[in-house]
Amino acid sequence: MASSDRNLSVYLAHRGELVDYATAIVGDRSRGEDVVQEAFLRFRSSASERTLDEPLGYLRRIVRNLAIDWTRRLSSERRTVDDKAEYGSIAADRPSPEDALVSRDELRLVMEAMAELPERTRIALMMHRFDGFKLRDIAAHLGISVALAHALVYEGLEHCRRRLARGG
């Protein structure tokens, strides 16, 4: 029997066992079959160049190496996809042009709304929201009670909210 005929007979006699072996490594029967087919092509190519003492052992080693290589490649591809997905979920350093436009429009509306407020209410709201003053400090600065300072800040905020809700 010629060497190539003997190698083909070994392959055909053990194909099912080799597919099972590859499937156990790669975790999928159809991929296991692909691995075995690729292994046979490599086996046939190398066996044509020399006579093999243990053709089944050599074929089995090719199947094992290809299956492990395939598993590593898939793992690497999954990490790459996961990394890209992770990077895609990271917030950008800057808002999108659309978000910036909306924010500028909202800021314009708030500034217009604040300009409509009585001076004392506007000062109380600015001190509280922009400068971070506590209500007692606002009351002391304006010479009013803490309760009135709270009412002024609340009125100013409600006026700005209503203007934003109206959109103009």
Among 88, 119, 149, the domain-final residue is 88
Number of domains in the chain: 2
In which domain, by residue range, is 40 found?
3-88
- Quote the pLDDT of residue 82: 66
- Domain match, 80 and 125 both: no
Question: pLDDT digits over 4-48, tens only?
Answer: 778 888 889 999 999 999 999 998 899 999 999 999 998 888 877
Cβ–Cβ under 8 Å, residues 52 and 58: yes
Instruction: Please tell me the number of Cα atoms within 13 Å of 160 on its side-chain side.
Output: 20
Average of per-residue pLDDT across 156-165:
91
- Domain match, 108 and 154 both: yes
- Domain match, 84 and 12 both: yes
- Quote the pLDDT of residue 34: 92
- Domain match, 35 and 77 both: yes
Question: pLDDT digits over 58-71, tens only?
Answer: 999 999 999 999 99
- Domain match, 106 and 45 both: no
Angle at 50 between CA 14 and CA 19, to 5 degrees: 20
> How far is 45 from 60, CA to CA, in rounded Å?
15
Average of per-residue pLDDT across 149-154:
94
Residue 84's contacts (CB-CB under 8 Å, 6 or more residues apart) are none
Average of per-residue pLDDT across 147-163:
93
- Domain match, 107 and 82 both: no
Q: Count helices and strands (H / E) in the chain.
A: 7, 0
Question: pLDDT digits over 77-132, tens only?
Answer: 887 766 665 665 566 678 788 888 888 988 898 899 999 999 999 999 999 988 99
- Domain match, 77 and 124 both: no
- Quote the pLDDT of residue 89: 57
- Domain match, 135 and 73 both: no
> How far is 129 from 115, CA to CA, in rounded Å?
15
- Domain match, 84 and 34 both: yes
Handedness of CA 149, 152, 156, 159 (dihedral sign): positive
The enclosing domain of 121 has a CATH number of 1.10.10.10
Q: Is the pTM of this model over 0.85?
A: no
- Domain match, 69 and 110 both: no
